[in-house]
Structures are given as structure tokens and as C-alpha cells.
């Protein structure tokens, strides 16, 4: 991947719009009385947010390790990640806190909750998320800490592999070894017995909370790692046979991890919704990448990809209040209200991207040059 894969930007943008559209319809259905938002369009997009999130995960697994290798150091990598993730997130976090505390009747957001969300420790500190979609960012950050291991030098990984009599030292074998080390570590999270977590909870509550977090996030993080496998295959770093075998092993692990999640919250259809969505996301991602050369450059979709992160982070914070205001005046046209709200969020996201994101990304590049 010597040059940017534009089709992945297209997928990001479409996925962000799908998440926002699905969330807005869900808000109407659950929060606004006497509103029936079940249009044909809604029925078609009910599960799109789940599919879109898994597309995000696959894209991250595909592009982030290559970004780390291009940076050449852990320090540069994390500086760029921080300046990419935090600016928009912090702006939305502050705005949500101020609006919630000053203008709404929702529960007050205190200092402890704000700091927990600022440091992405809301789950560990048992604090409510201020930005609901931030749960995906928690998974992203865990993956960022695995990326340096995935990109261990051939010499280092080869020595480890040989020490365990697994594979002879080579570029491909070292890459496979580090991948299975990371994915095996993540997969082991879903194997933590529920009874053991309950027992730990009686002794050390915060450790039990951590075990619960790891168990719940295991299948999603495995999806991100699957994106890394696809990158190895499509960039011809691994052979087609190796990529197919490792992909099948990882997909089997994802299925099992989601099944364990189903058993943990017995019975909950959410894990099966995620599983179905993963299958769709996997097919969409591969289909788009294989046909990337035949997909023309479309500036609108490229623009959606550019603003996708800011739209994803802020759409619930701002969108729900805009949606409530619009639906008050046109209660009989819920889909129109959703579309107007979505257009407004796209406009705001554009300015966030231009005024905040691009400047911090440019600053990070200068800082690590």
C-alpha cells in the first residue's frame, strides 16, 4: 500500500453516515412518545450501525500497523494517534458536559466522570460514558498497544519463534508468530469463566470489572486483528494460502468469542446481531477492496471519509437535541427529520475537521518530522 487506498475512505464515510442515521432513528423510536419511525428506510437500516462499526474495526486493523511501520518508532506513532483521536473527542466531550449540566434535565456530569471519560477509563472506573460511541475508541486504544508487538522486527520475532521451536526465523514466519501471540492473548480474554469473575468480584472489585471489560471486548478486538491479516494478504506480505488459513482461524475465534458473549448475557440477541453484522462487514470490506481499481474517484465520498471521525464522535451529542427540535415541528415526518438532522451534523463535522482535526494532524506531522 504505497499510496492511499481511497476506497477505504469511502467506506469510512458511508459507515459513519450509517451509524448516525441508525442512531437517530433509534432515538425517535425509544425517546419520543407517539412517534412511529418504522419507515421502509428504517427497516432497511436498522442493523447498519452494527455493520458500520465492524467495517471501522477492519479498516483500523488494515491501515494502522502500516502507519506504525512508516513512522518507525513507538513515540512518533503514539503522538500521531493522540493528535488524531483526542482533539475532536475532547471538544465534543467538553461541549456535551456543558450542555448536559447547564441546559438539560439529564444527570449531572461530575469531575470524576469527566476525567474518567477523558482518559478512556470510564469502563474500568465504572463511570457512565459521556459520549456513547466511545466504547469503540476503547477497543482502538487496546489495539494501538498491540501494534508495536505486531510489528516486531524480523530479528526479534524470529529469535522468539525459534526459542519456542515454532517456526524458522524469516520475515513471514516472524510476522505470523507475532500475530498469533497477540490474537491468542486477546482470544484468551473470552475464556475467562463467569464464575471466576464473580468470585474475583467478592475479593477485588476493580479486577473483576477489568475481566468483564476484556471478556466483552475480545470479539471486537479480534475483528480489528483480522483486518491486519487481510492487510498482510492483500499487500502480498503473506502468501494466499497462509492468509486464508490464518483468516479462517481468526474468524472461527471471533465466532466462538461472540458465542461466549451470548452465554455470558444469557440469552441476549445482541451478540448474534454483532455476529451477523460482522459477516456482512467482512464481505463488504473485501468486496470493496478487491474492486478498488474499478471504483472511480468521487469527491463527495472522499469528503465523507475525511469528516467521518468527527461525525462519528459528535453526531449523538449534537444530533439528538437538533432532532428533538425538528421533530417538534414535523412530528408526522420522522424520516425527514432524521435526514435534516444528519445534514446539519455533516455541516458541523466539516467545520470540526477543517478547523480542528486538520490543524492538529499537521502539527503532529511537524512534531514527528
What pLDDT score does 106 carry? 82
Distance CA 362, CA 357 (A): 9
Distance CA 30, CA 148 (A): 42
Q: Which pLDDT tens digit goes with each residue over 275-285? A: 889 999 999 99
Q: What is the mean pLDDT of residues 196-220?
A: 90
What pLDDT score does 44 carry? 54
Distance CA 95, CA 112 (A): 17
DSSP code at position 369: -
Dihedral (CA of 166, 248, 52, 97) sign: negative
Counting Cα atoms < 13 Å in the Cβ hemisphere of 190 gives: 24
What pLDDT score does 172 carry? 67
DSSP code at position 134: G
Neighbours of 332 (CB within 10 A): 9
Q: Which residue has the higher pLDDT, 37 or 266?
A: 266
pLDDT band at 144 (very low <50, low <70, confident <90, very high): very high
pLDDT > 60? residue 40:
no
Share of the chain above pLDDT 70, in %: 88
pLDDT band at 163 (very low <50, low <70, confident <90, very high): very low
Distance CA 61, CA 15 (A): 16
Q: What is the mean pLDDT of residues 323-328?
A: 88
Distance CA 233, CA 63 (A): 13
pLDDT band at 2 (very low <50, low <70, confident <90, very high): very low
Q: What is the mean pLDDT of residues 104-126?
A: 89
CB-based contact 5:289 (threshold 8 Å): yes
| b/e 62-83 (16+ beta carbons within 10 angstroms → b) | bbbbeebeebeeeebbbbbbeb
Whose grid coordinates read 462487514? 281
Q: Which pLDDT tens digit goes with each residue over 53-105? A: 999 999 999 999 988 888 878 899 999 999 999 999 999 999 999 988 888 77
pLDDT > 50? residue 203:
yes
CB-based contact 341:323 (threshold 8 Å): yes
What pLDDT score does 17 carry? 94
Q: What is the mean pLDDT of residues 188-211?
A: 89
Q: Lowest-confidence range among 33-42, 306-315, 348-357?
A: 33-42
pLDDT band at 41 (very low <50, low <70, confident <90, very high): low
Neighbours of 118 (CB within 10 A): 16
What pLDDT score does 317 carry? 86
State the average pLDDT for the chain. 87
pLDDT band at 38 (very low <50, low <70, confident <90, very high): low
C-alpha cell recorded at residue 179: 500475530
Distance CA 247, CA 253 (A): 10
pLDDT > 90? residue 29:
no
Share of the chain above pLDDT 90, in %: 56
How many residues are present in the chain?
369
CB-based contact 307:343 (threshold 8 Å): no
Backbone angles phi, psi at 315, to 5 degrees: -60, -35
357 contact partners, CB below 8 Å, separation of at least 6: 84, 87, 88, 309, 310
Q: Lowest-confidence range among 57-71, 99-113, 119-133, 145-159?
A: 145-159
Q: Which residue has the higher pLDDT, 23 or 333?
A: 23
CB-based contact 49:75 (threshold 8 Å): no
Q: What is the pTM of this model?
A: 0.91
Q: Which residue has the higher pLDDT, 189 or 25?
A: 189
Local structure of 298: helix, strand or coil: coil
Distance CA 229, CA 250 (A): 9
pLDDT band at 146 (very low <50, low <70, confident <90, very high): very high
Q: What is the dihedral of CA 284, 47, 134, 355, to 10 degrees?
A: 70
Q: What is the mean pLDDT of residues 189-204?
A: 89
Longest dimension (CA), the chain: 70
Amino acid at each position: 500500500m504505497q499510496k492511499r487506498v481511497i476506497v477505504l475512505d469511502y467506506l469510512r464515510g458511508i459507515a459513519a453516515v450509517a451509524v448516525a442515521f441508525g442512531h437517530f432513528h433509534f432515538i425517535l423510536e425509544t425517546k419520543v412518545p407517539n412517534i412511529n419511525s418504522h419507515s421502509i428506510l428504517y427497516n432497511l437500516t436498522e442493523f447498519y450501525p452494527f455493520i458500520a462499526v465492524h467495517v471501522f474495526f477492519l479498516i483500523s486493523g488494515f491501515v494502522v500497523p502500516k502507519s506504525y511501520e512508516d513512522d518507525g518508532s513507538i513515540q512518533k506513532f503514539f503522538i500521531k494517534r493522540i493528535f488524531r483521536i483526542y482533539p475532536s473527542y475532547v471538544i465534543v466531550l467538553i461541549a456535551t458536559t456543558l450542555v448536559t449540566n447547564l441546559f438539560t434535565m439529564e444527570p449531572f456530569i461530575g469531575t470524576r466522570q469527566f476525567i474518567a471519560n477523558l482518559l478512556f477509563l470510564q469502563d474500568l472506573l465504572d463511570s457512565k460514558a459521556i459520549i456513547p460511541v466511545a466504547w469503540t475508541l476503547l477497543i482502538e486504544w487496546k489495539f494501538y498497544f498491540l501494534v508495536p508487538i505486531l510489528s516486531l522486527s524480523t530479528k526479534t520475532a524470529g529469535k522468539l519463534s525459534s526459542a519456542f521451536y515454532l517456526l524458522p526465523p524469516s520475515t513471514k514466519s516472524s510476522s505470523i508468530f507475532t500475530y498469533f501471540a497477540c490474537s491468542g492473548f486477546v482470544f484468551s480474554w473470552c475464556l475467562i469463566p463467569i464464575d471466576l469473575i464473580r468470585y474475583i468480584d467478592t475479593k477485588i472489585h476493580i479486577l473483576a470489572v477489568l475481566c468483564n471489560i476484556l471478556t466483552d471486548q475480545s470479539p471486537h478486538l479480534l475483528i480489528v486483528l483480522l483486518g491486519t491479516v487481510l492487510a498482510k494478504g492483500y499487500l502480498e506480505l503473506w502468501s494466499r494460502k497462509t492468509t486464508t488459513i490464518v483468516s479462517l482461524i481468526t474468524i472461527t475465534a471471533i465466532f466462538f468469542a461472540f458465542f461466549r458473549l451470548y452465554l455470558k448475557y444469557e440469552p441476549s440477541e445482541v451478540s448474534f446481531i454483532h455476529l451477523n453484522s460482522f459477516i456482512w462487514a467482512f464481505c463488504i470490506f473485501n468486496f470493496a477492496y478487491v474492486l478498488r481499481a474499478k471504483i472511480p474517484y468521487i469527491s463527495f465520498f472522499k469528503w465523507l471519509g475525511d469528516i467521518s471521525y468527527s461525525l462519528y464522535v459528535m453526531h449523538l451529542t449534537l444530533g439528538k437535541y437538533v432532532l428533538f427540535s425538528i421533530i417538534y415541528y414535523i412530528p408526522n415526518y420522522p424520516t425527514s427529520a432524521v435526514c435534516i438532522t444528519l445534514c446539519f451534523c455533516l455541516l458541523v463535522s466539516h467545520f470540526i475537521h477543517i478547523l480542528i482535526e486538520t490543524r492538529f494532524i499537521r502539527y503532529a506531522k511537524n512534531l514527528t518530522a
